[in-house]
Structures are given as structure tokens and as C-alpha cells.
A and B are shown apart, each in its own frame.
Chain A
Amino acid sequence: MNLNKLVNIVRGYFKKEHLEESQEKKVLNIIKDLKEKKAQIKSQLTLLDKEDRAKKEELEKQLMSISMLIRKSNNIIKKG
């Protein structure tokens, strides 16, 4: 077998299967963590005193930011 062909097969395995999968897995883990954080903030929001507007705004801004991050993470997976 041609040596270059062999090298390409090995390289291809690492690039396409192994490495990209691990990158995708990493992003999925990040999304999972972000979703957990989002759920935590949502429960904090429900327990929050309605008068505490500053805190409410802060938490809502965090929720918005997390949603953006989840969207950006999904885009990374889509782009591959």
C-alpha cells in the first residue's frame, strides 16, 4: 500500500471522526451547562421579590446572554 495513502487514512480518522466528534461533544457539554445555568436563573427569577427591579433586570440580562451563547454554540456545531 502506498505510504501516503496510509498516512492520509490515519490523518483522516483523527480529523474527521475522532477530533471533530470530540469538539462537537465539548460544545454539546457547554450547551448542557448553559441550559442548567439558565434553569437555575429562571428558578431564581420566580423566587425573586417583585420589588427588586435591579436584580430582576440583572437576571433577565443573564438569561438573554445565555440564550445568545446557546445560539452561538449551536451555530458552531452546524458549521462543523
Chain B
Amino acid sequence: MQNIAYIISFLIFGYFIVSYDNLTVILAGVSIFIIGMYFMQDGFKQLSGGILEKLLQKFTSNSYYAILTGIISTTVVQSSTITTLLTISFVGTGLLTLAQGIGVIFGSNLGSSTTAWIVASLGVDVKIAAYAFPMVVFGVILRFSKSNPVRGLGNVLLGLGFIFLGIAYMKDGFEEFKETIDLASFAMEGYLGILVYIAIGLVVTVVVQSSAATMAIIITALNLDSITYDNALSLTIGANVGTVLTAYLVALTSNENAQRVALSHVLFNFITATVVTIFVFQIAYIIDVIAPYLGISDSNYGIKLSLFHSLYSIIGILILTPFIPQIEKFLNKLVKDKKTPMSEPKYLSMSIVGSPDAALVALRKEVINLYEHCQKAMLHALNIHTTNLNNETLQKQLSSKFSVIDTDIDEIYQKDIKNLYSEIIKYSSFAQEHMFDFQHKEAGEFKRSAAILVEVLKDIRDVQKNVNYYLKSKNEFIKKEYNILRKEIAEILIDINILATMQTDIDKLTQLEVIKVTLAENDFASSEEIDMLIREDKITATMATSYINDSATGYSIQKKLVEVAKILFLSDDLLKQIGENEHEFK
């Protein structure tokens, strides 16, 4: 039924396009403009080499910096949607706090008005189509380059060329269309007109999925007198409100924090739109008053509309910034934390799969999440409780009476681990497509660490059977050896947990080396001990062979865990290189 509705709508739409040549030209212009936006955004991403991600991570220490970062990032990539989606994902993965995310979102609203300024200042007075073709040609040539930044520049040029071409088509279309149907005759005055045109602006933005494209249409139509200035103001308000839908749709599939950020975007635009709608005539008057001081002529409505677009966001920022802590509290109350099933990824958001730095952060966090699940399963398999586990409580558990914790590693793997592991592998493969060599390598390392964790889990399953068997044995010597094996694996896990919470890289590096020294000592002590027990006939040959096998597996488990810790918790390549094993494990 739904498909039939789509086909009918498509046919009606097709009929209008075929019947009205000029409408076709306008729509083609909008389409070319949108393609241009895609190329330009993609180009900026390649050209900047992850500058947006770096900006977002480094310069958001307080609300004002966060707002400024939002403005700059959106201006650089020419898309508030990209900034918003990245911010949503960053807050979702814990890279930014909710308050910082809200600040960036506020700033991105203001940053988005730069597109309107570009269209208004370039698109009207200059015959931009003349520049479009050379840009497209040079853009295509540069796209053949093997270097990513040069290809990025090619995409930016190609994008700009298409944007200019799109505007030129829209302009031609509106000029011709005006002769057939005078849109200005549909102009509506008063508050009814404002509401109707806000709704039109909103719908157009939702359909074209870009407020910049809507602004280009509005400014072009306004400059050709196809719509009145008052109605253009309302359309602009509608265009701003329309942008919230994309963000919210993405957030619906993300975690709670991401949903809160998306809601802050909704809140910002609805509150600002309400205030601006109420005072729209007063704001228009203020623009008329200040325009001459800014060198804007009275009849330059395109630029005045861009000024209105900027003022809209400035008003929103001024009203809402002092209340960011309250907004944060409100959003925390509105969207309650839900418990994610263990098998579902917590951080892998598809919206950042194309942003290498952000995708790497998400991957690292997800593998750490996998590590935590595996760690719990491993300790339970060794009959060690994980609540408040540290070296002291471990000693208490080991010296108290042994009791089996019912743990089926195969079942845990099938139920909780397998899906999470597959998602990590799938996500990193997608993310690697967009990465430079060094990032590609890092993602590969995360994949490898996830694979090692699964191996470790299977190794522990092999040891578990004998641990449970010999811990019930009447032979105190073999019992003691298996207890030592449990202790060593648990201690390595505790030491890695300590490493994970350390603040400086030097502390982490030292801790990793301490773990390796301990591991080497354990291996040496274990083989000495078992030789002595065999010589003194204190354990049977069967016990000895079981223990030798399990001890080797235990040592291998610990080695693998150290490798995983190095990949997950040492962030710098040079530190990893220093932390490489030289002699210990060979």
C-alpha cells in the first residue's frame, strides 16, 4: 500500500516536472546545488584531514569555546548537519560531555549562516555560471590525484562549481517561472502569512535535507522579487526549524546521550523560532536600522536576509547559553538511561564511520567494552567474583572455601560476545575505507585485539575444566598449583584495570612493563615448581601433564592480554614501539 502511495506521488511529481519546464529548471538547479554541497563537504573533510574532529575534541573546554568551535567547524565544512551529527556521535561515544555538545550545537546554528552569506553576496550580482565551468573542469582534473588533500581540493572546487551552476539554474528558472506564475501574488501578510511560510520553509528543508539549499532557493527567489521580503523572513525561520529533523532521526538510532544532544538542537530551534516569530517585525526593523552602518544598501534584500539568518542564531545563543546547565539537567531527566544488551555495541555509530578520528575513538571504546565482557566471563570461569575485585579481595577469595560459579563460556560467547565481535569487525572494515594508512593500521590493530580477546576466551574454556576438577582434588599440591594459575591470570587482569585508569602515558607505559616483568617471573617460577613436584613424586604424571598444558595455556592467555592492553591503552605509536617486547616472550 505504502509503495503504491510512493508511486502515485512520484507520478504526480513527474507530471508537474514535465508540464512546467521552468519548474524543472528550478528543481534541477536545487539538485545540482545539493550535489555541489555533497562534493564540497566531502572535499573539506579530505582537505582538512580530520581537522573538524580535532577541533571538536580540543577546543570545547567551556561553553563559550564550545560555541565558538561549533561556529568555526560549521563554517569550515559548510554544513551544520555534519557538525551536528559529529557532535551527536562524539557525545554518544563520550568524547564530549553533554554540556560541551550543547554548546557546539548552538554554535553550529550560527556557523550555518555563512552559506547564506556566500549565496547572497556571490550568487546575485556576479554572473557566477561563468566561474562554474572552469571550477568543475579543474575540480575533476584534481580528483585524479593520488594525494588525499589534492583530491579534497578537487572536490571542493567541483562542489563550488556545482553550487554556482545550481544557483544559476535556479535563477534562470525563477526568472522564466515568474512569467508563467507570479509567486509574489501568493504573498501573505500578517501573522497568518508568517505561519504559512514558516511551514513551507520547514517542509522544503525536510524534503531537500539541507537548510543551505533552502536558503539558496529563498535568496534567489527574493532577489528576483518572486517572493516578498517578509515572507522570505518566515521561510528562513522554517528552514532553521527544518534542520532538526535529520539530526533527530540519526539520534533515534544512537544512544541516550546522542538523543539528548539532538534534543538540544530541537530545543534551540523551537525556542529561538518562537521568540523570533513573535518579534519578527521588530527584528526586521532593527536590520533596516543597522544595515546602512554595515554598508548594506536598503534594497539588498539577499544580504539583509543573511543578516536575519545570523541574528536568528545570535538571539538563540544569547537567550539559551546562560541556561546550558539547566538544559543539561532537563535533558537528562527527559531521556533516561536505558540498559543496552551486552551483545549490542554501545559506541559504534554509523554516522561517524566516515570520520576516521571519531571512528577510531568509537572502535577503541567498543573493543574496551568487549574486553570488559570477556574479562568478566574469564574471571567467572576461574570461579572468581568480579564485584569490587582488587588484589586484596582476590587474596580473600582465593583463601576462602572454593565454590564453582556456573559459567558456560560457549553459551556466553554465542549469547553476548559473538555479535559484539562481529559488529566490531564489520564497523572497522567500513571505517577503514575512509582512512589514511596510519589510521587504517590502527583500526586493524583494534580488529586484531578483538580477535585476540575471543581467542583468550576460548583458551580459558580449555583451562576451566581442569581448574574445576583439580580445585576439588584431595592432592593439596596440584590444588595449590591451580590456585596459583587462577591468581596469576586474575592479577594480570587487575593490573590491566589499574593501567586503564592511569592518567599519564609514562605511568601506563611503566605499568605495562611491570606487568611483563611479573609475567616473565611467573613463567619461570611455575616451571621450576612443577619440576620439583614431579621429582619429589608429589603429583601424578596425569596431574603433571594436565598442569603443564594448562600452565602453558595460562601463560599464553596472559601474554595475549598484555598485547591487548598495549593496543587499547597506549595511545601513542612511539610508546607502543618502546613497549614492544624485546626478549621476554621470545
Q: Which residues of A contact B (CB under 8 A)?
A: 23, 26-27, 30, 33-34, 37, 61-62, 64-66, 68-69, 72-73, 75-76
A20 to B554, CA, bound (A): 40
CB of B513 within 8 A of CB of A66, answer yes
CB of A62 within 8 A of CB of B575, answer no
A14 to B574, CA, bound (A): 18
Majority secondary structure, B binding face: helix
CB of B510 within 8 A of CB of A65, answer yes
A27 to B442, CA, bound (A): 21
Q: Which residues of B contact A (CB under 8 A)?
A: 506-507, 509-510, 513-514, 516-518, 574-575, 577-580, 582
A26 to B576, CA, bound (A): 13
The residue in B513, B518, B582 that gathers the most chain A C-beta atoms within 10 A of its C-beta is B513
CB of A72 within 8 A of CB of B582, answer yes
CB of B575 within 8 A of CB of A30, answer yes
A26 to B509, CA, bound (A): 15
Closest CB in chain A relative to B468 CB, distance in Å: 30
Measured between beta carbons, the chain A residues less than 8 angstroms from B580 are: 72
Closest CB in chain B relative to A27 CB, distance in Å: 7
CB of B578 within 8 A of CB of A76, answer yes
Closest CB in chain A relative to B72 CB, distance in Å: 27
Closest CB in chain B relative to A77 CB, distance in Å: 11
Q: Which residue of A lies closest to B512 (CB)?
A: A65
User: Which of B506, B517, B582 is the one whose CB lies under 8 Å from A64?
Assistant: B517
A66 to B578, CA, bound (A): 11
Known: A66-B510, A76-B574; 12 extra A-B contacts, CB below 8 A, are A27-B574, A34-B506, A37-B510, A61-B518, A65-B513, A65-B514, A65-B516, A69-B510, A72-B579, A72-B582, A76-B577, A76-B578
Measured between beta carbons, the chain B residues less than 8 angstroms from A66 are: 510, 513
Measured between beta carbons, the chain B residues less than 8 angstroms from A68 are: 513, 517
Measured between beta carbons, the chain B residues less than 8 angstroms from A37 are: 506-507, 510
3 tightest CB-CB pairs across the interface, nearest first? A65-B513, A33-B506, A65-B514
CB of A62 within 8 A of CB of B582, answer no
CB of B574 within 8 A of CB of A26, answer yes
| Given the contacts A30-B506, A69-B509, A61 and B578 also touching, CB distance less than 8 Å | no
A9 to B506, CA, bound (A): 36
CB of A65 within 8 A of CB of B517, answer yes
A23 to B516, CA, bound (A): 25
A68 to B580, CA, bound (A): 11
Q: Which residue of B lies closest to A70 (CB)?
A: B578
A58 to B170, CA, bound (A): 74
A37 to B507, CA, bound (A): 9
Cross-chain pairs A/B with CB under 8 angstroms, 29 sampled: A23-B574, A26-B574, A27-B574, A27-B578, A30-B509, A34-B509, A37-B506, A61-B514, A61-B517, A61-B518, A62-B510, A62-B514, A64-B517, A65-B510, A65-B513, A65-B514, A65-B516, A65-B517, A66-B513, A68-B513, A68-B517, A69-B509, A69-B578, A69-B579, A72-B579, A72-B580, A73-B578, A75-B582, A76-B574
Closest CB in chain A relative to B525 CB, distance in Å: 14
Closest CB in chain B relative to A60 CB, distance in Å: 10
A27 to B518, CA, bound (A): 25
CB of B578 within 8 A of CB of A30, answer yes
Closest CB in chain B relative to A35 CB, distance in Å: 10
Q: Which residue of B lies closest to A72 (CB)?
A: B578
A64 to B575, CA, bound (A): 18
A75 to B577, CA, bound (A): 11
A72 to B578, CA, bound (A): 6
Closest CB in chain B relative to A44 CB, distance in Å: 13
Closest CB in chain A relative to B83 CB, distance in Å: 32
Closest CB in chain B relative to A72 CB, distance in Å: 5
A41 to B25, CA, bound (A): 76
Q: Which residue of B lies closest to A69 (CB)?
A: B513
Closest CB in chain B relative to A45 CB, distance in Å: 15
Measured between beta carbons, the chain A residues less than 8 angstroms from B513 are: 65-66, 68-69
The residue in A26, A61, A64 that gathers the most chain B C-beta atoms within 10 A of its C-beta is A61
Closest CB in chain B relative to A33 CB, distance in Å: 5
Measured between beta carbons, the chain A residues less than 8 angstroms from B510 are: 34, 37, 62, 65-66, 69
Closest CB in chain B relative to A16 CB, distance in Å: 18
Q: Which residue of A lies closest to B504 (CB)?
A: A33
A68 to B513, CA, bound (A): 8
Measured between beta carbons, the chain A residues less than 8 angstroms from B516 are: 65
Q: Which residue of A lies closest to B518 (CB)?
A: A61
A28 to B516, CA, bound (A): 23
Measured between beta carbons, the chain B residues less than 8 angstroms from A72 are: 578-580, 582
A65 to B518, CA, bound (A): 10
A72 to B581, CA, bound (A): 9
A33 to B580, CA, bound (A): 18
Q: Which residue of B lies closest to A66 (CB)?
A: B510
Closest CB in chain B relative to A17 CB, distance in Å: 18
Q: Which residue of A lies closest to B577 (CB)?
A: A76
Q: Which residue of B lies closest to A38 (CB)?
A: B510
